[in-house]
Each structure stands twice: as structure tokens, then as C-alpha cells.
A and B are shown apart, each in its own frame.
Chain A
Amino acid sequence: MSKRVVMTGNETVAEAVRQINPDVVAAYPITPSTAVVEYISQYVADGLIDTEFVTAESEHSALSACIGAAAGGGRVMNATSAQGLALMWEMLYIASAMRLPMILAVVNRALSGPINIHGDHSDTMGARDCGWIQLYSENCQEVYDNMLQAVRISEHIDVRTPVIVALDGFITSHAIDTLETERDEDVKRFIGDYITLNSILDTKNVVTYGAIDFQDYYFEHKRQQLEGLHKSAEIIKSVGEEFGRTFGREYGFFEGYKLDDAEYAIVAMNSAAGTIKTVIDDLREEGVKAGLLKLRVFRPFPAAEIAEALKTMKVVAILDRTSTAGAQGGPLFSEIRSALYSESSRPGIVNYIYGLGGKDLTPEHIRYVYDTLRRIDRTGKIDRLVDYLNLREEGGQD
């Protein structure tokens, strides 16, 4: 039995944490994810959860403590944003290389500098190669559902890899949204018991974690890790299907919104999808075959599935909420353009960088993108391969 509730994104993360009831949370507060840590503290203070909460003195230590705790053989969670994730950077790679299951909720925020507290994806995109699974969430419902599924994915015996669940700073973290939550006992049944493997607290079967790997082993171990991450794709898929059977909300690698018969598609992640869907509805009424591919799983990157979904489009715009300095467009653009390369017929493709530091993305901007896609289709000419949306400068569309 689901229950319709009203919550902010941060409250949703915390509610999922309460239901998951992790053995250890180690975290350090940072805007805009601070409220997650505050809610968890209150749950601990009220005895609502069994969690030991390590109030670390920095995000680096928070993730280090999570690594120690996960090696101790229990459920571990953490939450952060932007600079916090950046400070964790060193430990992100170590957590995934040790194949330690854990969940890190990242409330997306622009990386300094200049300092800014609002939402963009530069933080998680900066961590895209660290070996973690990354799940993105459009709204509170997806935040909640991703949190629960992340437990199953991360702890699966064939995966044993940490998971980031991302949601947009302020837009999702602070705005009040309606969603359906499940009963505690149903959540408990869905996530199951934690399976302890190679615990550092097992003093009879002694393990050494984090031995030094020189040129004779590092490469082989790294390859095993990469293979493991790729294989997690099928687990993500099967967990998403099981979630659908259990709670009636099925998940895949991405959601196609009016995509099947679309001619002009936008690819985006997180909260922008809501705005885009509204514009698509309007355009469809006007007879424009507009569609959306909202990517949920950025790591492991579902290249073949995305290519399959997009190859019949006429023109595609990839929306990146981050800039990749010195690169050929944003990370989503590069990945998708590359995924389409081996298709015999490919759509035209352009990239828009948008929303950096929390800059608004309005229906007018989305409409401009679709208009541009149609113009490209008509003229066969791409003026700017990589462009900016809502940028108050020459070269940008205002």
C-alpha cells in the first residue's frame, strides 16, 4: 500500500534513509543537502533508526569513515553536494576499487569557483569516472525510488559497487513535491537483509584491505573493477523491473517521453525533464513531433540502448548542465555523440550548456531548442555545435 505524501527532496532522501535504516551514516553538512543530515540526526536522537551517525569533521573524513564502516560489513549511507563531493574525490575511487556497497545522495550544486550554492551537475559530472554507479532523479518520486533501488543494486553480489543518487539542488531538494511512499515493512522486504562479505570485523577470517598493487597487478584489478561496473547494467535493469512489479513504478536506464515516434528529441537529466515534458505537450498539439529522452543511469553508460532509441530521430539536442572545460561540448553530449557513431544512420546532433550555477531554464528556452532542431532539419545546417541557453552574453540565446 503506497501513501501519497508531500515532501521536499531532502526530506525524501531522509525518509528513504529512515526506511532503509542503515547501520552507519557518516556525513558532513553542506548546502543544499544539509537538511538530509539534520533529518537523520533527528531520527537518531528520537531512536527511530538503529544507525550510528558519525558526524565527521569533513567530507573527506565522512567518506573515509563510510569506507571503514562498509568494510565492517553493514549498510552505509552518506549525503553531500558540490565542494563536499569534490573533497571526497580521492576517496570516491578508493571506495569503488574496494568494491564496497554504499549509497551517497548528491544534491547537485555548482562547483566553485566562483562560489555558488545553486544547482548544476558539475559536481557529479566531475565524479563520473570514479567507478560509482550514478542514478539521476527528475523529482521527489524518483529520488525516493532511486534510493530504494540503489540499495539492491549496490549490494548485489555481482555488483558490490557504491551508488550515487543525484537530485537537483534547490529545485528538487528544497521544493515541495508530492510522491508515493511505501510502507516500512514493504521497503524492508524489497531491500532485504545486508549480505556481509569479507568483513574487517571478522577477527577469525582475517582480511587485508587496500594492499599496494604495483605494475604487476594494478591493471588487472582495475580491469576487473571496470567489468564489474559494466555488468551492473543488467542488475540495474532487473532491479528496476522488480521495483515495478512490487510497487507499480518501473524503471529502466532512461525514460522516453513521446520519444517513439518523435522526430526532434532532447536528452536531459534531472529536474529539467519536467519543463521539457510540458513544452513537448504544447508542441505536440501544434503538430510538432517532439520527444524527450530523460537519462536516469549515467554510469554505467547505456550507450547501445541510447543509440537504439535516438538513431531514428531527425535532430537531437543534448542538454548538459555542466561545462567541460576545453572539451568538445558537455559530457552527456560527448558520450551520446560517440554512442551514435557506429549507427549507419545518425540524427543531427547539437549540444546546449544550460543552468550553470542555478540559472533558470524556462519553457521558452526549451521551445527555442526545438525550433532550432527543426531549422537544422530544414536547412541541413548546424550553426553552433555547442551553444549556451539563457546566457547573458554575446553568443548565447537569451
Chain B
Amino acid sequence: MAKLKDLALREERLIGGHRLCPGCGHSIAVRQILSTVENPVVIANATGCFEVCTTIFPYSAWKTPWIHSAFENAAATASGIEAMYRSLKRQGKINPEKETKFMAIGGDGGTYDIGLQSLSGAMERGHNMVYVCSDNEAYMNTGGQRSSATPYGAYTTTTPVGKIKKGKQQFRKDLTQIMVSHNIPYIAQASPARWKDLTNKASKAFDVEGPAFLNILSVCPTDWKIVPSMGLRITQIAHDTCFWPLYEVENGRYKINYKPKNKLPIEEWLKPQGRFKHLLRPENKDMVATLQEEVDRRWAELNRLATYEPPNT
């Protein structure tokens, strides 16, 4: 595994001057991910904050080949690029010195929701690419509307806190498990709060033959309604409460990468974030209990899966 100072010396492929908000998790995560790979990387980016803020014409923050075509199709676009690469290489029309790597990036909107079909198709076809979901738990590029990754109880502009309904009424979709069901070689959940874990996983994802999927919890200071400098500390609480467990599934084998010594109650995750403020009022205690129950249930299920030994390993 690379040392931090080595990673820091790698040439930046996403440079400064972009318009992401201070403290945004996307650029932190993607810089960490790209620092792990020495090969050239071609990126297909779905519509979203990350795309808009890094490529306002006539500027581009990308020092690596990059394409955006639409919202729901980063995986399909990347699969076309990767297919062309394989075709030209096989025919001897290109002779790259180093293997080119392919990466698709989408937010939770472009991945959990509108781009789920395109992602599923590309993973099933087995394209050699790393799909990175930079999940900030709502449609932040349009001002914070709910997605299927938005946590239960969270305020968004389409799950407002009203007299009857208090934030989002549904639990979040477990996309990582959906990706596990695709039986692709490598799947992981991570966050930029634990850089060592994330870079290790990114490195594995780029190394496997075939598709890999990284689901990254990416803090949005603006719509989580937090102090920008607190972003990664708050993200760490998501791991300590087991709201966002760090784990990987390598060829069907689960491994939990971080087990908090002292599992914190879910309130610790809710407290610093303005989007959950209403949940801490005494009358909404039940909702907190409901959320805690679901977090515990999923954590227990993950622990059960982690004990599973796949045959012939």
C-alpha cells in the first residue's frame, strides 16, 4: 500500500480552480482515488455538481481525458470508450505504452436513480472500468431534492418538514448490495474521511480485470447544512455509528474494514447536520428510534454476510 507522502507527490489530474463548494467531498474523494493509479485514466462523468463545477467552458480542471454526455449514462458512455479502446488495441491501431484505465463517476442521482439501468448494463457486460458513485445523499446540483440514497427522516426540498410529514419517509436504497448481486469482481463502500481505506480500495478496483464499483459517502456541506471544515469529521461519525459501514466484497467474499470499538448512537450522526435538525425535537423521537433500528438491522446483516465463506476459496 502506498504511503501518504508518495500519493501526495503524484501528478494531480484534477487541478484547482474548479467551482466546487468549500469542503465538498467529491474532489477530495476523486483526488484520493486518482492518486492510487499510475496508468492513464479516461473518465466519463455523469451530469451533476462535479461535472458542472469542473468544466465551465472555456475552462477545465481535468488534466486527464474526460467526457460528459448526459445524466443517466456515465456507465454506458464509459463502456463505449472502453470498447473502442479494446477494439483499436486488438486491431493494432493503437499501441499504448501503459494500459489505459477507465472510470465513470456519478452522484447518487446519476447512479442510484436515473443511471441505475445504465450502470447495471455496463457491469453485467463486464467492461473493464471502475464506477465511482460519489454519494452525497440527495440531488445537490439542483439545490437538494431527495434521491433514493437520501436517509430516512432527512430534510430535502422535496421531503420538507411539514405539519404531518417530517422529512423523507423511506429508508435509503442499499445500492452496494445491488452491485454485489451483479457478481462483479470488486465492490466497496468507502469515504474520503478514511483516506488509507479509500486509496487501498481504489487501488484494488483499478487492478481487477473487469468492472469494479466504489460507493463513496461524499459530504455536501451546503445541503447537509454543516460547517464546511467539519465535513470529514462528520463523515467519520457515519462510520462510527455504522450508518455507512466500510466494507468490501472481493470475488464474493465480504470483509468489514472498520468496526468501531464503541458504536455510537445514530443521534451523533444526526446532531451536527442541519438537515436532521427536526429529528432531535422530542416529538420526533420515534423517528430516531426507527432509524436506529434500521441501521442496527443492516449492520447485523452485514456482519452475518461477513462470516460467509464462499465455496472454493
Contact = CB atoms under 8 A, between A and B. Distances in A.
A296 interface: no
Interface in B108-145: 117-118, 120-122, 124-125
B125 A209 contact: no
A326 interface: no
A307 B230 CA distance: 69
B44 interface: yes
Contact of B87 (A50, A65, A94, A209): A50
Interface stretch (B26-34, B55-63, B186-194): B55-63
Contact of B55 (A50, A58, A208): A208
A391 B218 CA distance: 59
Contact of B70 (A57, A65, A94): A94
A57 B84 contact: no
B77 A65 contact: yes
B42 to A, nearest CB: 6
Most chain A beta-carbon contacts within 10 A, residue among B44, B77, B82, B84: B84
B65 A56 contact: no
B78 A68 contact: yes
A24 B66 CA distance: 20
A23 interface: yes
Given A54-B125, A60-B72, A65-B76, A200 B42 contact: yes
The 5 closest A-B pairs by CB, nearest first: A68-B80, A57-B121, A72-B84, A65-B80, A203-B40
A201 B90 CA distance: 14
A61 B73 contact: yes
21 contacts: A23-B91, A60-B72, A64-B80, A64-B118, A65-B83, A66-B80, A68-B83, A68-B84, A70-B80, A71-B81, A200-B42, A200-B66, A201-B65, A202-B65, A203-B40, A203-B65, A208-B62, A208-B67, A211-B59, A212-B52, A212-B56
Contacts of B40: 203
A51 B117 CA distance: 24
B63 A206 contact: yes
Contact of A57 (B44, B94, B117): B117
A206 B60 CA distance: 11
Interface string B85-116: 11110110110100010000000000000000
B51 interface: yes
Contacts of B235: none
Residue in A23, A72, A90, A217 with the greatest tally of chain B CB atoms within 10 Å:
A72
Contact of A23 (B55, B67, B87, B122): B87
A83 B44 CA distance: 26
Nearest to A94: B69
A209 B117 contact: no
A61 B56 contact: no
A200 B65 contact: yes
B55 A206 contact: no
Interface string A107-151: 000000000000000000000000000000000000000000000
B241 interface: no
Contacts of B78: 68
Contacts of B177: none
Interface residues of A, number: 44
Contacts of B284: none
B68 interface: yes
A310 interface: no
A213 interface: yes
Nearest to B13: A206
Contact residues on B (Cβ < 8 Å of other chain), bracket: 35 or more
Most A C-beta atoms less than 10 A away, residue of B77, B82, B100 = B77
Interface of B: 40, 42, 44, 51-52, 55-60, 62-70, 72-73, 75-88, 90-91, 93-94, 96, 100, 117-118, 120-122, 124-125
Contacts of A217: 57-58
A150 B118 CA distance: 29
Contact of B56 (A57, A69, A203, A214): A214
Contact of A56 (B44, B69, B76, B88): B76
B84 A74 contact: yes
A72 B85 contact: yes
A68 B65 contact: no
Nearest to A216: B57
B57 to A, nearest CB: 4
A52 interface: yes
A65 B270 CA distance: 41
Contacts of A201: 42, 65, 81, 84-85, 88, 94, 96, 100
Most chain B CB atoms below 10 A, which of A64, A66, A68, A72? A68
Contact of A61 (B55, B64, B121): B121
Contact of B96 (A74, A98, A203): A203
A91 interface: yes
A64 B84 contact: no
A64 to B, nearest CB: 4
A104 interface: no
Contacts of A73: 84, 88
B236 to A, nearest CB: 33
Given A61-B73, A67-B77, A206-B64, A214 B88 contact: no
A372 interface: no
